[in-house]
Copies of this chain bind each other. A is one copy, B any other.
Amino acid sequence: MRRSELSIESRQRNEFIKLDAHVAKAIADSGVQDGLCHVFVLHTTAGVTINEGADPSVMHDIGTKLAELAPREGRYAHADAERNADSHIKAALVGSSVTVPVRKGAPVLGTWQSIFLCEFDGPRRRQVVISVIAG
């Protein structure tokens, strides 16, 4: 078992940041050949998801749909100075972690799959914990 912590800086309020290289490095550094890799964000207004990494328009559409389902302006109880109820809702829909298989010291992903940190209330610095567990 090896654990890495990343500190990722987002630049926009809503942004999807590819973590593939970080995850591949964490697995390589761990020395684990076969097992599982868990990628977890330590925040409640951000998420982690897997989707298409080749055509950026896919993540754009996902972001647009999430903003349509949970618009920033709405009747929210959590109407504090941050006005980020929408960010918490998006995080709940997307989830705060993903787990992927590890084989031959690398993540097992499909041709089009990338792992994304989902920023829903940036710009901010975000902590991501990557745990690699041997099978």
A35 near B1: Cβ-Cβ < 8 Å? yes
A110 near B42: Cβ-Cβ < 8 Å? yes
Interface SS of A by simple majority? mixed
A36 near B38: Cβ-Cβ < 8 Å? yes
Residues of A76-103 whose CB lies within 8 A of B:
76-80, 85, 88-89, 91-101, 103
Number of A interface residues, CB 8 Å?
Answer: 58
Expressed in whole angstroms, the Cα–Cα distance for A131 and B49 within the complex equals 19
Expressed in whole angstroms, the Cα–Cα distance for A94 and B98 within the complex equals 12
Q: Which 9 A-B pairs have the closest CB atoms?
A: A1-B135, A42-B110, A57-B77, A57-B78, A44-B52, A61-B85, A61-B76, A60-B77, A101-B131
